[in-house]
Amino acid sequence: MAADTEKREMISIEEALAIIKTGIPAPVEQEYAVEEAFGKILAEDIHAPESSPRFTNSAMDGYGVRWEDVHGAEPDMPVTLDIVGESRAGTPFHGTVGKGEAVRISTGAMLATWCDTVIPVEDTEELSDRVRILAAKKQGQHVRCEGEEFREGDLLLPRGTKIAAPQAALLAAVGITRVKAYRQCEVAVLVTGSELVAAGETIAEHQIRDSNMIMLKAAIEESGGRITRCVRVADEEPATIEAIGQTRADIIVCTGGVSVGRHDHVKNGAEANGFAPLFWKIRQKPGKPLYLARKGTTLLFGLPGNPVSAFMCFAHYVRPVITVMNGLPFGWPTVSGEAGEAITNRGSRTNMIRVQLAWLHNGGYCITHVEKQGSHMLTSLSGADGYVIVEPGQTLKKGERADVYRYDFRRDPVEGSMFEVQGLRFKPQSAGLEEETNGVHGSCLHQ
């Protein structure tokens, strides 16, 4: 009876995602100097305040000429022109170029009036105040025309664009110094557990080194969030209530303390601070005891204490919320690939199976599982490129296509970079995922 009650209390991954999506606060727009907007998402369309190039200029060092004067010039039939001035970058030639005349010109310098062609230095011979044109291939050669890249009023950067180095350069090039962008989602991390000590501290035999704090800090920053607070909290209800009450952020991420033990206080601590619970427990593995509550515009996620469970819940549920609050659509980085072995979920809960990807010579990704899948085994994350979602009783057959939810902390596996993929063959074996064990089998072997 207790098992049936728990099953009814649990919700599916799809139900959890639907609840999360309806509760995400709207992203916050702010105005930033371009130098402060790096990594942020534009909250407005940017239209060109001027054309590019702003004026017609030369793409080469050489001579500005009139095509009618040089048409047909060849090494054995050169054309000789009088040099009447020079146009340098930043110092234009203000006169006009008449018949039989030329001006020296530098790359990027303004083209003089009546010039329509640039002859590069290598196709000329200079003779004191005259220049001999040895070749003229076509009219308009090496000329950058005003507005050829874009015109005033054209859309330069649409709303939703991430400001990186190229975008910042483009804004500066047209004189834009301030933009509206979405404020980075602010995230706080509360790691619960009286048994936890920091990595550099002396550890007793009954204690555990805390890996969740550094893991979540890195994951939040990789997701585009800004960390506002990170603290460890003892497994005591007053301490948990106080820690939650003192935390201000868009998202509070707690790890541990969300199960049914006598020393699990996150749910009570959240509700004592006015948070309204939205759900608790998802029919998934790993990460069943996932808790979500909301107070005003703040979301509180209670993640399991096991590091793999905590990370998987963060990757699938918290990360997309950070993405939305940063101004981008809800979603995950995914790639499609073919299973290199059969992977079966024989459990009663949806399983997020950690996998590796190999890029094959014939193109496309091959998916193989990570051997050890325990929720306490960090190697199942550090040795993985992402995860596939397999329903209870479902088998991902060898050769079947599936979506892999990617982790960002691994390089894209390309040919030869992570696996020696030449001559791979895949030995078909059953990959059994038991409810109470992590017995996954199957291998990707060299010929």
pLDDT tens digits for 178-217?
Answer: 999 999 999 999 999 888 788 887 888 888 888 899 999 9
- Cis, peptide link before residue 333, omega less than 30° from 0: no
Residue 264 is predicted with a pLDDT of 81
Q: Measure the CA–CA gap between 195 and 10, rounded to whole angstroms.
A: 28
Whether 413 has a pLDDT exceeding 80, the answer reads no
Give the tens place of pLDDT for each residue, 33-49.
999 999 999 999 999 99
Residue 171 CA: distances (Å) to CA of 34, 176, 300: 8, 5, 37
How far is residue 7's CA from residue 392's CA, in Å, rounded to a whole number?
A: 14
Task: Tell me which fold the domain 57-144 belongs to.
Answer: Molybdopterin biosynthesis moeA protein; domain 3 (2.170.190)
Q: Where are the extended beta strands (E) located within 224-288?
A: 226-233, 251-255, 276-280, 284-285
Work out the average pLDDT over 157-167: 96
Supply the pLDDT for residue 420.
29
- Residues 6 or more apart from 121 whose CB is under 8 A from it? 60, 61, 62, 63
Hey, do 2-28+184-325 and 57-144 end up sharing a CATH topology, with the first three levels equal?
no
For the domain made up of 334-446, give the CATH fold: Beta-clip (2.40.340)
Q: What is the pLDDT of residues 112-160, one digit of tens each?
A: 999 999 999 999 999 989 999 999 999 999 999 999 999 999 999 999 9
Separation of alpha carbons 357 and 364, rounded Å: 10
- Return the pLDDT at 49: 98
Per DSSP, the residues of 399-441 read T-EEEEEEPSSS----TTTSS--TTEEEE----EE-SS-----
pLDDT of residue 423: 32
Q: What is the pTM (predicted TM-score) of this model?
A: 0.81
Q: Look at residue 280 and tell me whether its pLDDT is greater than 90.
A: yes
Sequence-distant (6+) residues with CB within 8 A of 280 are: 9, 258, 267, 289, 290, 291, 292, 302
Taking the C-alpha atoms of residue 426 and residue 172, their distance in angstroms, rounded to an integer, is: 52
Tell me the mean pLDDT in the region 62-72.
97
pLDDT tens digit sequence for 352-376: 999 999 988 778 999 999 988 887 7
Domain boundaries, the chain: 2-28+184-325, 29-52+148-182, 57-144, 334-446
Amino acid identity at 379 = T
Q: Does domain 29-52+148-182 have CATH number 3.40.50.300?
A: no
CATH code at 2-28+184-325: 3.40.980.10
